[in-house]
Every structure is written in structure tokens, then in C-alpha cells.
Amino acid sequence: MSAAPKSEKERVGVYVCHCGTNIAGIVDVEDVALWAKKELGDDGVVISRDYKFMCSSLGQELIEHDIEIEGLTRVVVAACSPHLHEATFRGACDRAGLNPYLCEMVSIREQVSWVTTDKVKATAKAKAMVASGVERVIHNEPLDRMYVPVHPDTLVVGGGIAGIQATLEISNSGNKVYLVEREPSIGGHMAQFDKTFPTLDCAACILTPRMVDVGNQPNVELYTWSEVERVDGYVGNFTVTIRKKARYIVEADCTGCGICWEKCPKKVIDDVFEAGLGYRKAVYTPFAQAVPKYPVIDTETCIYFQNGKCRACEKFCPTDAIDFNQEDEFITVTVGNIILATGYDTFDARRIPQYGYGRLANVFTSIEFERMCNAAGPTDGEIVMRDGVTKPKSVGIVHCVGSRDNRYNSYCSVICCMSSLKFAHVVKERTDAEVYEFYIDMRTAYKDYDEFYQRVLEEGTHFIRGKVAEITDAARQPGEEGKLIIQAEDTLISRQRRIPVDMVILSTALEPRPDSKEVGHKFGISCSANGWFIEKHPKLDPVATMTEGIFIAGAVQGPKDIPTSVAQGAAAAARVLCHIGQEQIELEPVRASVNADKCSGCRICNDLCPFNAILFHEDLMVTEINQALCQGCGTCVAACPAGAITGSGFTNNQIMAQIEGMLMFSESNGMTRVAEPVAA
Amino acid sequence: MTTVIDHTAEAVLDPAEIPKKSYLAEVVAATPGVSRLEMCIQCGTCGGSCPSAKDMDHSPRQIFAMIHAGMKDDVLASNTPWYCVSCYFCTSRCPQEIHITDVMYTLKRMAIKANLYDDHTAADLSKTFVNQVENNGRSFELGLATRHYLRHQPMRLVGSATFGLEMLSKGRLDLTPHKIDGLDQLKAILKKAKELDKVEV
Amino acid sequence: MTEQFEPIIIGFTCNWCSYRAADLAGTARLKYPPNIRLIRMMCSGRMDPTFILKALSEGADGILLTGCHPGECHYLEQNYKALRRYLMLRRTLPQFGIEAKRVKLVWASAAEGVRLAREITTFVEEIRALGPLNWKDSRAYNNGYGVAEVEVSTEVPA
Amino acid sequence: MEKYLLYPGCAMERSASAYLDSTMAIRDDIAIEFEEVKDWNCCGATEYISVAQTPAHALIGRNLALASQQINGTNTLVAGCSACYLNLSKTDNYMLEDDKLSEQVNVALSAGGLNYQPGTLKIRHLLDIILNDVGLAAIREKVIRPLKQLRIAPYYGCMITRPDPNKHFRNAEYPQSLDKVMRALGAEVIDYPMKTHCCGGHMTQISESTAYEMIRGLLYGATQYKADVMVTLCPMCQLNLDAYQENVNKHFKTNFNIPILYFTQLMGLAFGHDAEELGIGKEFVSPGKALAKIGIEIPEDQASPKTKRKKDDPSLPMPAMPKDEEVI
């Protein structure tokens, strides 16, 4: 089979973009343009131009002008990836009265100039791709835009500061938000902190009001101690199943009075909120200002759940709000858009044994230290050593623990320099200890950050530029006994130094949640190699994802500080509100349809569709495809033995022609063939 | 951008990045496998980890900066590689996974050729050792020690005589070297290998 | 030594993963041989074996099929169908006198620009080693298989 | 009877003969048998590679080639000396990684009628064999004279866990393998902070002050933790710590007196062998006092006793460390 005969009537315009030197630097764009006019004339190319920036307004006007004056019926733009500018050029065609789907883009930047070094071969490849674009576009058909209605409700996953911000922005605009949080309370990491850099205002003071707002906002349906179980559907209309884990507390009756956890006899180390530095009861709320105020019973440690005795909480609860028989609930909601703000975890410092965390008592992690500084924390804000009483006389703060290290995380965790400076300040403020900061590079970008660095310098903190080699309790010289010795090269004086200190704080890296891959899969978005979710465009579309209707905000997308997380929360909300405001979203009109006359009723396609878009009419013995359900993957199209199914936008004719185009000049386009043909 | 941080990318960037014929390229080429020397970020983990750093005239980190800067003679005149005890702390801790110890071996080989480092103690120890091995197929501690001390610290030889005697009395030292049977075979192999390297030791 | 043979390879990419991996390879300025030309489809499930036979008959020396990793398909499970067709095709090709090795299936997620660049580089070398196909001029093709291909290839148990 | 190819190396032949003797003495207890590589040559230590590259690898290549000729039943080549172990595995790995090197080495080897295909042999350290192939259970079974109350500083030195090309020891800084073996013998193992620090290697021959400072650090660390004996698994480490201990004492006016034994010697003692058989008596620092402590109880499980937290104890909880089994 070969593509339909080449059309005589189509008038094709070819536009080759220089993209400054991005393309023109490697591909001889002029030559490509001239060549297209000459070699592809028979295929209907009547105009072929090269231009510095096709995406510029002038570039677009060029296309519009040619459509109007030269009567182009097809347009091929050889430039960057269609994922970047397809919409731009389709728009241009549309404005000039040409059906936008009669415009085709060929990616000669991402797929040619940026990945090829040999100019001749690059130009040859560009020509082949232009040819394929031309051959394909001839077979393009005018398509009508497709729209889906947008459900006005939104799902926000993750109740950290980013999720809270997004939730408030959307709910305050009068739209409904379902906020799902895995832990018993919203607040996220920020709730664990004491002070926030660079202004040093207390985290609780600025966070808790927002948490309360979320709790009081009637448009917010809050699901804490809950997780998203499954997600179906697509942009505008997702069906989400939420697992509401049993709290064993009847929320309707609970007043949050706290008697249950006062009376609970079981004290356990709190690995989550207190980062292992403090204790909680088996029935607990993570912290005093928790939203919602309802506690949860941790069945792993609850004496009653473990060996059937106790029930102290039940005995003393004034409102009989304890219900040991409660079970997980499953709630199904429909939403138009989803924002993922599931945040980060911190690096396990035990993975770097030479830093001694877990072995040397007075080595702490940054998150432990945050809890220690916190007035509501395990030490009431006292800065003390592991014995709980002694104030340190000297403190070493180690940067880049698990960051900027190919053996752990090759990226920079962004916040550690600033939080380490914050720690130095806090130690100075609350003790008379000498403070030593060990850093590779001091990264204090953004407003007022470097000013804060200046301030900490003034306070007399010692800065040693060198990545710490090891932390040991093995003394070598007198004066080292009983201390922790931090050994590093002071790279500014090129000497190895051993600094004895009482306490060490490891500024551990920010890492993706361990289950980020599964979560990404659940929501149909992908993670980068190191586990952060991938944004649609790193600069121009940082909160959208490849999947329409799924947005990301905060540290899920990469390490971030509070201001940036808040900004992203708001940004994601804005994107969602835009969808809601439009009430409907345009979709690629890529859909499969059956030509009933051709359909032999063989039913091969019937069980191919995961979206159940294919139905079979027993009476007529023909298959039909439900346009609303079809997602346009084209699997059924490829499978139909009778060729009765067509996939708009990607028809057999289009693809066949594209293949022909790519190969039609293969002998003459610089790909020389020397070896003998193999006997087939 | 986030998605590119995938550090396997470096494998793709690698040698093209290094200007040809630079001293850096020279050192990289003389080191087996992938040394990643061009990836140094000057963090000082090596200098901080090195057990003999305090005796080095330049910390390993500094040496790498000098290599990048093309200060060939200063590098080859430095005692740094000769104080390397091959403990591999730097190599296993380097956040950039640079094969530091192997680079030190490379620098030793280059230094012997260039002959710019005035104290020959270490170089000669190596050479003497190699010599013993080439003539016997096995190392020979007594011969090694005596020949080495005779050349460098004759006084020490006297001092260490008792030491040697005790080693002998404890049966931990041979008086005569143990020769392997396939000595000629070994010599042939090493001869060929030296031709390939264009070195005569 | 004669000038080395430059194979021509057609690559089929999935709009959601491998095509974006190609974009990423570009933005990361990774280098790979220009012998490959990519065709975008919405999903590897759209891959009709006819396309492959078409490309080979039009002068391609090798075909690289790419899609999302199993379990990561944007359309849930269609890449598994691509896999089945691929395996079936590998069995069919020899009947046309074509080495099965000329068609290769590779998974590449949107984040795996590096991986895609590597796979392309290796595949180009593999095909270079196999030499040109020149199926168009080959006996098998003129015996009519070339024409028969449509019938054969569409009998795909999906 | 598990069989292995053995590369003793020059030191084990002589200066560390006690290491070889004790290894041979216990091989029946742990049911392993060794076949020595015929006419092996020196591995070049850290010296040859400092002089010339291809010859250094060819020197080791000859051993690999000879060993691969003896493959029969097993392709595992065992070395007791950490330097030998590292040299053998490094050459093997670099030949795998670097085709040019591999080719050159084989060109050189062909001059001696030999050839080695990188990857043919599995190169492992004796400790690795004893921990992972023999196993702790088998060791515990054989213990008839538990090393009760004997405080042991497990000293690994450098080259066994670093760079560890084949990742036999996942933890380059705080390995546990030797600790486990010693505990299996009933010994009291201290958390020796310098366990993988350097013994000074050949520095004793080049710059005494440098070497002595390193040795001093190790001995000081061990005394801080009140170790009765330091256990080594490398002839070079044993030699430096043992034979130079007196010089170190002179140099720093210290009076360290810590016996340095090979882990195989302690295994032998625990298995009931007598001292001579294990080459005990060849060391400079006498282990007499330390060994006198050895009792005869059966070793019990190593689980550290749970201390109950007092009501008004203000101390902050410590992060839990991974289970013993999880780290090697």
C-alpha cells in the first residue's frame, strides 16, 4: 500500500526558522528553504522561506500574509518542537482563515541542530524532515476544535504550605476544593520549623492562621489522615477515590479537648513530626495547633490494638468520641483539575557513615535541629546536647549532606545554605557557643538572602570553605578528647583542619518522597531521573505537567524554599481557575471513528480500548466508537484488519506519506551508501 | 533544568569538553578507565580526608586546580603524589566520583619521567621494589630495605639492623630472595609491556 | 578503507514519553548520529506493522520503535499491545528475508533523554554492522512479498 | 568442602607467614580447600603502578592468566592480603572497562604465551569468603573456646573496603563483616572509630614521621576504647602496627602495648587450635596478657540489653541504626 496520489491542488508554504543561531548555526537554513522550493515543487510547495524567528509576530504575520495573498492551503513550519510552538503557528493559520490543523511542524532544532555536530548531515536530515512534513501535510484534513466541559471542583493533594496556598486561592474564589493530606494534620514541614529565613518570623505565627482559614473555609472539604486511592478520567472530569483512614475517633463528637492523649499510657518516639527527637502518645495530634483538631489512634503502638487491653482513652473521653471499630472509608469525588503538592523528604544521614549520625550522639540532622529550636518542640526551644541538659560550647554546621554528591543526590538542595545560616544565628542567639559553618559554595540568591549572610558574618560565625571529610570521636591531639572532631580541608588556606566541637548539625538534602514514582503513575505524570515530578516547561510552564489538568506546586517539582513554594501554590491555583473560568478546555481533535460500511464486525478492536470507548452493535454487527470517551491513542486504528477505523490527525495516509517523505531523497541527501547490498 | 540533572549525562558530555592537548587532557589520557578529573568542583573532600595531607606541599584539591590551570611543572615538582598512601579515602568520598588515587599514580609516573621532584626517596623505593620483582618475580623485603636505606638513610640501616634481626629470628624475613620458576616468561611479558608504554625502568 | 555505510533509520515515537525524551535530548544538547528520523504518533499502540514494512520497502535500513515503559503508558496499557505486535513482527520479518534485528523496540520515559540518545547511537551502529537492506531491489520484495505485505501484516492478533 | 584458588602473595609467604599458617590451620573447621596458583608472582604492591602502567597491569595479568588456567570447579580467586586483593581486582576491572588497556595487557601476556579474558575470575578477599560463603552459623558451631571478655578492635585498613571495585563490601567507612565474625567467636567487639583508617602503608620507608603519626592515631584510638587486641586482615597493616609499635613509642614517648593479630589466628584459637599452629609468637608485641583473658563459655546472642528509660530522664532519643544484617 502506498499513500494516495500526490495532490495537485494543494498550495503548500514551507517556513524554515533560524531560531537565531540555534538552528542556523548547524543547519544551512537558506539551502533547506531553496531546496524545498525546488525539489518539492511538484508536491505543491509554492512558497519556501527562511526567517530569523518564525515564532515572532513578524514571523507569524509572514505566514498569515502568504495564506491571504498567495492562497496557501497547507503550511509547514520547520522550527522547534511542536510541544513548544504548534499552538502558535496553528493560531497564525486560524487568524488567516486557514484551518489550524492544516499546519504541520517539523522539529529541526531539538531533533537536528541541537543533537548533531556535522553541518552537512544536519542539513540533509533537516531536508528529509521538511520533505516528510510536506508529504504529510498534504494529507491533513481540516478538523473542528474539540472541547470538554470543566468540572468546577478541584483536588489538592498535600496539605503543606504549597497545597494550603493553592487551596485558599481556589476556595476563596468561590470554587470547591477537596484537600487530601496523608498525615493527621495539615501544615507540612513548615509546621515543624521554628523560624523562617531570612526574616526570622516564626513559622507557626504565619502558618497557623492559614491552616485555620483552610479549616473554616466552607468551600474546602478537608480529608486528613487520608490518601488518594485511584484516579480515573481526564482533564475537566477526573473521578478520584479517596481512602479516609480510620482515626478511631468520631469527628462529629470529638471536641479536641486532649484528655485522650493525656490519659494514654503509651509513649512512643514520634518519627514524623518530631523527626525522632521527641515523644507522642499512641493517640495523638502531631502538634497543638493541628487542623483539624481531631486526634488519631496509631494502631501499631496502641496497647488496646496490640493486646486487647487498656481502652483508657475511651474510658476518659468526655464525649464518647472513641470508636475502636471504625473502618477505612472510601469517598469518590469528581473534579476538573488536580494539584499535586506532596512535598519532599529529607536525606537519611546514616547513609554517610563517616559523618557519624546515629553512632555519635551529638550529631543531629537539620530537621531534628528545627524541632530542637522550636519553642513547642521536645526541648522547649532549648539548644542542648543529646543528654537533654548540657548546652554546647561549640557547634559545627555541615552543608551539602547528601546534596551535590553524585553518590547520593547530584543536585543542589537549594535551601540548606540559608537554613544553615539560620541555625548559626539561632545558636548564637540562644547559647554562647562558637559556631563553625562548613560549606562548598555559599548560595544565598534571592531577595534579602545575602543580607542575612552578612548579618551572620557580623555575629562572628566562623566560615570554613571545605566539604567535611569526616566527623569522629577519635581524638588525636590533646583538647580533642570527649569532643566531636570535624575534619575538613580549609580550601582557602589549603590546610587540613580538625575542629573539635560539642555538637554537629548536618544540613541534609531534600529528596523526593520515596513513593513519588507510584504517585506519579497514579496521576499519569512522570518523574525526572532523580524522582522530582517533571514540569511541562522548566521556564515557561513550571506548574503544569505533560498531562492536561494535573498541576504541581512546591517541592514535588524540585527543592524549594517557602516563598517559592507559596508562589507555586498560587500559580497552580491561577492555572486551575483559568480552566474553571473557561468552563471548557480545548483538546487535540485526535479521535478514532469507524466507517460502518467498511467494518466487518470482526470485533478484533473491541477489547483493545482501556477507556471503553468502543461499543459493538449486535443488531448491525458493526463497531462504533464513543467520541467522548475516546482518548485518541490509535491502537484500534492500527488493529483494524479492514482499515475501517480512522484516527483523525494521525491517519494511515498521513503517516505513510510522512514515511515516504523521509525516505524519498535518501540517496541524494548526503547519506552515502558504500557497502554491498546484503543478499536478502 | 530539573530533568537534565540525571548525572549519567556526563558520560555523554565527557571528553569533547576538555580542550585537546591541555595538560588536563594529558593526565586524563594517561589514567586508565574514566578518571572524571575534569569534574572537580574544588570542594576539598580529598584534602580533608587525606591522612598525609599535612606533609604535602599542595593539597590534592590544589593539585587538581593546578592541573586545570596547566601548571605542569609545578605539579610534577610537587611532593603531593609521593605522599599518597593509597588509602582511597579521597576516591571513595569524592562527591564527583573522581578516581583520585589513580590520578596520583599517573602523576607519579609522569614525575619520574619529568624528573622535577628533587626528593627521590619514594620514587627510588618504588624503582628498587620493581627491580627486586623483575629479578625474582617476588618481592624481597630484606634486599629492598637494605638497598633502599643504603641509598637514602645509611644511618637508618644501622638502626634498623636490630629490627631486621628480630624479623629474621621471628622467621618473618628471608635472607635470600625466592625466585619464581617462570622468571623468563615474566621478563618477556614485562619487556613487551614496556615497549608498549615506551618506558624503560 | 572505504567510506563507511550510513544507514537510514526511521524511529516511531510516542507523543507522551519518547518524543519528549527526544526533545529533552535536544535541550540537553546531547549528541547522537543524524541517521535517525523520528515520526510522532500519539501512542506506540498506534504502530501499525504496515508502517514498518512500508518504511523498509521505501529504503529504510532499520526501524526503532519507542514507547513509554511498561506500566507507564499515557493510555494505561497500549504499549503492551505495541510490544505484542513487535514480537509478532520479529517472527514475520525473516519470511521477507529481513533480519529481525533491523527492528528494535526501546522504552524511554520523558525523563530519559540520555537513554534515548544512547539507544539511538547503539542501534545506528548495530544497523551499520548489518549493512544496507536495499529491500526494494531484493528478490523477496519483487517476488511479490513487497505487495503482499499489507495482507500479512494486518492479520495482527491485537 | 568448598574449593577456591588461592593467591597468597609475597607477604603471606614470609613476613606474614602467621596469616597463612592460621588460614591453613582453620580451613578444615570451616570446610574450605585451597588450590594455590602455580608459580604466581608479586602483585606489584603500590609500587609498580607508580612506575609504569601497562607493565604493572601485565605483572598482575600473569597471575590472573595463570589462575584462569587452573579453573576447575571454581573460578573464585582468593587473596588474604588486601593490597594483593585490590591489585588483582583492579586490573581485572580496568581490563573490563578499558578495551585498550585490556588489549595491551594481553599483547604483553602473549609474549609469555599467556592470555587473560577479563571477568573470567571472581576475585574475593578471604574475609568475604569466610563471612559470606562459610557463614556465621557455621563459625559459631565450631567455637569451642569462646573469646569471652576479649575486647577486640576490628581493624580493616584501607584496601579491602576501598575502592571495592566489585562492591563486595557495601560500607567503605564502617564495615561490619569483621565485627560480625569476631562476635561469632564470642569476643567483645568495640565500635572502633578508626577501623578503616590507613596504617601508613609504605610510608614507614619514605617518611617515618608521616607513617608513625598514622600508626599512633590507630593505637591511640584502640587504647581509648580499651582494646585488648587489634585484629587485622592485611599483612601490611599487621607489620606496621606490630613491628613499628616500638619505634612509634620511641618517637612520641608513648607506651602503647597492643598486640596485633590476624582474624584467622583468633578464629583458630576459638576453634581450639594451639598457638604455635597459628603462628602466634611471631609478633613483636606479645599477645600473652590479652589471650590469658579468654574464657570458655558458649557465646550467646549479641543483642544489646534494652535499658528502660527512666521517668525523669531528660535525654533525647537516638536515631535507630539499621540492623546488623543490613550492613556488610
Rounded to an integer, what distance in angstroms lies between the CA atom of residue D62 and that of residue B185? 9
Q: Is the dihedral of CA A629, A635, A641, A645 positive or negative?
A: positive
Burial of D255 (0-12, 13-18, 19+ CB in 10 A): exposed
Please list the ranges in chain B whose pLDDT falls under 50: 1-16
Contact at CB, D206 and B122, closer than 8 angstroms? yes
Task: Compute CA distances C99 → A632, C37, C75, C107, whole Å.
Answer: 32, 20, 31, 21
In D218-293 the beta strands, taken as DSSP E runs, fall at 229-232, 260-262
> Which chain D residue shows the shortest CA-CA distance from B190?
D55
**A559 CB within 8 Å of a chain B CB:** no
Beginning with the edge strand found earlier in the chain, give each strand of the sheet holding D32-36 in spatial order.
D32-36, D2-7, D76-79, D122-125
Contact at CB, B12 and C30, closer than 8 angstroms? yes
Mutation target to probe the B interface, by most B beta carbons within 10 A, among D17, D41, D195, D237 is D41
> Which chain A residue shows the shortest CA-CA distance from B93?
A469
Beta bridge partners of A280: A268
The type of residue at A106 is: V
Helix (H, G, I), strand (E, B) or coil at A558: coil
Fold of A592-647: Alpha-Beta Plaits (3.30.70)
Shortest Cα–Cα distance, A115 to chain C (Å): 4
Q: What is the mean pLDDT of residues C60-66?
A: 95
Return the pLDDT at B198. Answer: 82
> Which chain B residue shows the shortest CA-CA distance from C25?
B4
Contact at CB, D193 and A474, closer than 8 angstroms? yes
Which residues of chain B make contact with C118, given a CB cutoff of 8 A?
12
* Domains, chain B, ordered by start: 2-114 (1.10.1060.10), 121-197 (no CATH)
Burial of A476 (0-12, 13-18, 19+ CB in 10 A): middle
Question: Cβ distance C126 to C101 under 8 Å?
Answer: yes
User: Residue C114 contacts by C-beta under 8 Å, 6 or more apart in sequence?
Assistant: A529, B6, B8, B9, B11, B12, C25, C28, C30
Task: Compute CA distances A616 → A233, A598, A633, C45, whole Å.
Answer: 22, 14, 19, 21
- CATH 1.10.575 correct for A12-145+651-664: no
Domain with CATH 3.40.50 in chain A: 12-145+651-664
CB-closest option in A110, A534, A655 to C110:
A534
Rounded to an integer, what distance in angstroms lies between the CA atom of residue A520 and that of residue A518? 5
Helix (H, G, I), strand (E, B) or coil at B193: helix
What would the grid cell of residue D274 be? 594451639
Query: Do D136-292 and D2-126 have the same topology in CATH?
Result: no
Shortest Cα–Cα distance, A278 to chain D (Å): 7
Return the pLDDT at A524. Answer: 83
- Pick among 3.50.50.60, 3.40.640.10, 3.40.50.1370, 3.40.50.300: CATH of A347-510: 3.50.50.60
Question: Cβ distance A487 to B93 under 8 Å?
Answer: no
Phi/psi of residue B37, each to 5°?
Answer: -55, -35
The type of residue at A649 is: G
Which residues of chain D make contact with A487, given a CB cutoff of 8 A?
none
Helix (H, G, I), strand (E, B) or coil at A171: helix
Q: Top-level CATH class of A154-343+512-582?
A: alpha beta
Identify the contact set of chain B against chain C, taking CB-CB distances under 8 A: 1, 3-4, 6, 8-9, 11-12
Contacting B residues, span 134-153, partner chain D, CB-CB under 8 Å: 137-139, 141, 145, 148
CB-closest option in A406, A467, A468 to B7:
A406
Other beta carbons less than 10 A from residue D144's beta carbon: 12
What ipTM does this complex have? 0.81
Contact at CB, A350 and D322, closer than 8 angstroms? yes
CB-closest option in A389, A472, A473 to D314:
A389
First-to-final CA distance of chain A: 21
Which residues of chain C make contact with B12, given a CB cutoff of 8 A?
30-31, 114, 117-118
What would the grid cell of residue A637 be? 486504528
**A494 CB within 8 Å of a chain B CB:** yes
Over the stretch D48-70, which tens digit does the pLDDT of each residue have?
999 999 999 999 999 999 999 99
Contact at CB, A404 and B41, closer than 8 angstroms? yes
Q: What is the mean pLDDT of residues C133-139?
A: 68
> Which uninterrupted H or E stretch holds D211?
helix D208-224
Rounded to an integer, what distance in angstroms lies between the CA atom of residue A579 and that of residue A361? 53
Closest CA to D62 of B183, B32, B140: B183
CA-based radius of gyration for chain D: 21
Beta bridge partners of C95: none
Shortest Cα–Cα distance, C112 to chain A (Å): 7
> Which uninterrupted H or E stretch holds A330?
strand A329-335
Q: Lowest-confidence range among A293-297, A517-521, C42-46, D322-326?
A: D322-326
Return the pLDDT at B14. Answer: 44
Contact at CB, D191 and A278, closer than 8 angstroms? no
Torsion of CA A280, A283, A285, A291, to 10 degrees: 170
Contacting A residues, span 610-639, partner chain C, CB-CB under 8 Å: 610-611, 631-635, 637-639
Contacting C residues, span 93-122, partner chain A, CB-CB under 8 Å: 96-98, 109-112, 114, 117
Rounded to an integer, what distance in angstroms lies between the CA atom of residue D19 and that of residue C60? 65
Rounded to an integer, what distance in angstroms lies between the CA atom of residue B14 and that of residue B34? 9
Q: Going by beta carbons, is chain C in contact with chain D, meaning 3 or more pairs sit under 8 Å apart? A: no
> Which chain A residue shows the shortest CA-CA distance from B13?
A115
Contacting D residues, span 217-256, partner chain B, CB-CB under 8 Å: 243
Chains near B, with 3+ CB pairs < 8 A? A, C, D
CATH number of the domain located at residue range(s) C10-146 in this protein: 3.40.50
Shortest Cα–Cα distance, A468 to chain B (Å): 6
What would the grid cell of residue D112 be? 609469555
Contacting D residues, span 81-100, partner chain B, CB-CB under 8 Å: 93-94, 97-98
Return the pLDDT at C1. Answer: 43
CB-closest option in A352, A388, A473 to D316:
A388
What would the grid cell of residue D202 be? 609504605
Torsion of CA A112, A113, A117, A121, to 10 degrees: 50
What would the grid cell of residue A520 be? 506519579
Which residues of chain A make contact with C10, given a CB cutoff of 8 A?
659, 662-663
pLDDT higher than 90, residue D292: no
**C151 CB within 8 Å of a chain A CB:** no
> Which chain D residue shows the shortest CA-CA distance from B185?
D112
pLDDT higher than 60, residue D307: no
Phi/psi of residue A479, each to 5°?
Answer: 95, -15
Which residues of chain B make contact with C114, given a CB cutoff of 8 A?
6, 8-9, 11-12
Q: Give the model's confidence band at C18: pLDDT under 50 very low, under 70 low, under 90 confident, else very high.
A: very high
Contact at CB, B5 and A469, closer than 8 angstroms? no
Contact at CB, D319 and A276, closer than 8 angstroms? yes
Return the pLDDT at B157. Answer: 67
**B165 CB within 8 Å of a chain D CB:** no
For chain D, give every domain's residue range: 2-126, 136-292
CB-closest option in D13, D55, D209 to B178:
D13
**B199 CB within 8 Å of a chain D CB:** yes
Burial of A565 (0-12, 13-18, 19+ CB in 10 A): buried
Helix (H, G, I), strand (E, B) or coil at D328: coil
Q: Going by beta carbons, is chain C in contact with chain A, meaning 3 or more pairs sit under 8 Å apart? A: yes
In A336-433 the beta strands, taken as DSSP E runs, fall at 337-340, 344-346, 363-365, 394-401
Return the pLDDT at C73. Answer: 84
Return the pLDDT at A526. Answer: 80
> Which uninterrupted H or E stretch holds A237?
strand A237-244
Question: Cβ distance B132 to B124 under 8 Å?
Answer: no
**A144 CB within 8 Å of a chain D CB:** no
Shortest Cα–Cα distance, B147 to chain A (Å): 34
Return the pLDDT at B10. Answer: 38
Mutation target to probe the C interface, by most C beta carbons within 10 A, among B1, B7, B8, B12 is B12
Beta bridge partners of A532: none
Please list the ranges in chain A whose pLDDT falls under 70: 1-8, 666-680
For chain C, give every domain's residue range: 10-146
Rounded to an integer, what distance in angstroms lies between the CA atom of residue D181 and that of residue D232? 12
Shortest Cα–Cα distance, D19 to chain B (Å): 11
Q: What is the pTM of this model?
A: 0.84
Contact at CB, B12 and C31, closer than 8 angstroms? yes
DSSP letter assigned to residue D324: G
CATH number of the domain located at residue range(s) D2-126 in this protein: 1.20.1050.140
Helix (H, G, I), strand (E, B) or coil at A627: coil
More confident: C134 or C86: C86
Domain with CATH 3.30.70.20 in chain A: 592-647
Q: Which architecture characterizes domain D136-292 according to CATH?
A: 3-Layer(aba) Sandwich (3.40)
> Which chain B residue shows the shortest CA-CA distance from D194?
B51
Question: Cβ distance A556 to A530 under 8 Å?
Answer: no
> Which chain A residue shows the shortest CA-CA distance from D193?
A474
Q: Give the model's confidence band at C2: pLDDT under 50 very low, under 70 low, under 90 confident, else very high.
A: low
Q: What is the mean pLDDT of chain C?
A: 84
